[in-house]
Amino acid sequence: MPYSDYNWQITNPKNPISAKESGIHSNSHLHSPMYFFLSNLSFVDICFTSTTIPKMLWNIQTQSKVIPFEGCIIQMYFFILFAGLDSLILTVMAYDRFVAICHPLHYTVIMNLWFCLLLVLVSWIISALHSLLESLMVLRLSFCPVLEISHFFCELNQMIQLASSDTFLNNLVMYFGSVLLAGTSLTGILYSYSKIVSSIHAISCSQGKYKAFSTCASHLSVVSLFYCTSLGVYLSSAATHSSHSSVTTSVMYTVVTPMLNPFIYSLRNKDLRL
Residue 205 neighbours by CB distance under 10 Å: 11
Say if residue 193's pLDDT is above 80.
yes
User: What pLDDT shows up at residue 11?
Assistant: 38
How far apart (Å, rounded) are the C-alpha atoms in residues 92 and 96?
A: 6
Segment holding 92, helix H or strand E: helix 69-102
Q: How confident is the model over 177-190, as a mean pLDDT?
A: 92
How far apart (Å, rounded) are the C-alpha atoms in residues 118 and 66?
A: 40
Query: In this predicted structure, which of 10-24, 39-53, 143-157 has the lowest mean pLDDT?
Result: 10-24
Q: What is the mean pLDDT of the chain?
A: 81
Contact call for residues 107 and 69 (beta carbons, < 8 A): no
DSSP class per residue in 189-225: HHHHHHHHHHHHHH---HHHHHHHHHHHHHHHHHHHH
How far apart (Å, rounded) are the C-alpha atoms in residues 75 and 134?
A: 12
Over its C-alpha atoms, the chain yields an Rg (Å, rounded) of 21
User: What pLDDT shows up at residue 119?
Assistant: 96
User: What pLDDT shows up at residue 2?
Assistant: 42
Say if residue 43's pLDDT is above 90.
yes
Q: Which residue has the higher pLDDT, 242 or 255?
A: 255
User: What pLDDT shows up at residue 28?
Assistant: 52
Contact call for residues 45 and 81 (beta carbons, < 8 A): no
Q: How confident is the model over 181-202, as a mean pLDDT?
A: 91
Say if residue 21's pLDDT is above 60.
no
Give the distance, in angstroms, between the CA of residue 44 and the centroid of all CA atoms in the same chain.
7
Contact call for residues 177 and 131 (beta carbons, < 8 A): no
Query: In this predicted structure, which of 168-172, 197-201, 221-225, 247-251 has the lowest mean pLDDT?
Result: 247-251
Query: In this predicted structure, which of 81-95, 194-208, 231-245, 256-270 has the lowest mean pLDDT?
Result: 231-245
**24-29 contacts: CB < 8 A, separation 24 or more?**
27/271, 29/271
Task: Please tell me the number of Cα atoms within 13 Å of 118 on its side-chain side.
Answer: 6
DSSP class per residue in 98-147: HHHHHSGGGHHHHT-HHHHHHHHHHHHHHHHHHHHHHHHHHHTS---SS-
User: What pLDDT shows up at residue 20?
Assistant: 41
Contact call for residues 103 and 6 (beta carbons, < 8 A): no
**pLDDT grade, residue 62 (50/70/90)?**
confident
How far apart (Å, rounded) are the C-alpha atoms in residues 255 and 15?
A: 39
pTM for this prediction: 0.82
